[in-house]
Structure 1
Amino acid sequence: MSKFNFFSVLRKLEWSPLIIDAKKSRKVAYVAIMTAIAVIFNIVFEFVKLADFQLSLTFAVSILIGLILGAGAGFVSCFLGDLLGFFVNTGGNGYFPWVGISVGTVAFISGVVFHCFKSKSTFSLYLKITVVSVLTFLICSVGINTTAFWISFSSSTYFEYLFSRYILKGQLLVSVINYALVFVVVPVFKRMSFFKGLNL
């Protein structure tokens, strides 16, 4: 019995309630569509720059992909979206694998929080969004992205780099925009019949 429960938990981590029982072809289609969306957002917002400030909505998109696909499938989709986005438009830069790991982890955290804690109240939904926002900011934005960029490219102290990246270069504003978008979009998903299977 415990073995069955173990694999049942793994299955729930892999897929969202929306597609967990779907045919393999439909699951592949969902992942392909979400990956394409991730690629598009990676490419489009590569050009939205003003001096050192670059607007990116990849965290918001990754949270929504994790919500729609589930933790495991969301990670794969967002990681591939970042990788394929790089090959489509390198922008003259090298490939930074930690960025793909970061956005994949954003989707994974989103899938876990939204689908492993069952409650359909409005308060619970906003609480989940808050938890996802805090965890992804600390783990993925600060813990993975910022730390990896600091180790790879900066000669300043870690806290100097944090201040420069989040305050002077506007990364904190970008994060606020991403999470604000999630707070707006997810409740809309809850009211849409198409996403009823997500059990929000």
Structure 2
Amino acid sequence: MIYDEINKTMTTERLLLRLFRESDAETVVRLCNNYNIYKSTLTLPYPYTLDCALSWIEYHIHNFDADKSYEFAVCDRHTGTVYGAIALTNHQRYDNGEIAYWIGEEYWGKGYATEASKAILGFAFQVKHYHKVYARHFASNPASGQVIQKTGMKQEGVLIDHVKKENHYEDLVYYGIVKNEYQEI
């Protein structure tokens, strides 16, 4: 992972992680207005409208500059095609943060979430100097757990029936990694 502080971008072998632009809003709507993504995410609204995308994108630069959270578009490094999003929260008081991501269904199974997650871990530990990074997923979405495990995170526990989604309760599976366990992959 190569981080460009001036442009707030990260590059990997296949990906460019960059801040979202207002011009990405229609693509975000097309990708997020998908029931299969909605059912696997904690807070994504459905249906997903243009207003949802614009209001979400509007706060990214402020949150980034305020060191609250870092939200990146996951893009093809060469074509610029937006595949999804990845974010890292910043809990400054505890020197840790959470990774969260979504990838458009048409791009599932290509390793983009894993590659982006490894990059954001590097950003967290090498650039932002976090002590710990964690991630969580619905137990009903084991593919997300596989992505998290490929980054080197270890399962720390399961919160049983922790959240309610569509009138049924979901277990949340938590993973984490501390800086001294991290190895750039």
TM-score normalised by length of structure 2 = 0.30
Question: Which structure has the highest strand share of the two?
Answer: 2
**Structure-1-length-normalised TM-score:** 0.28
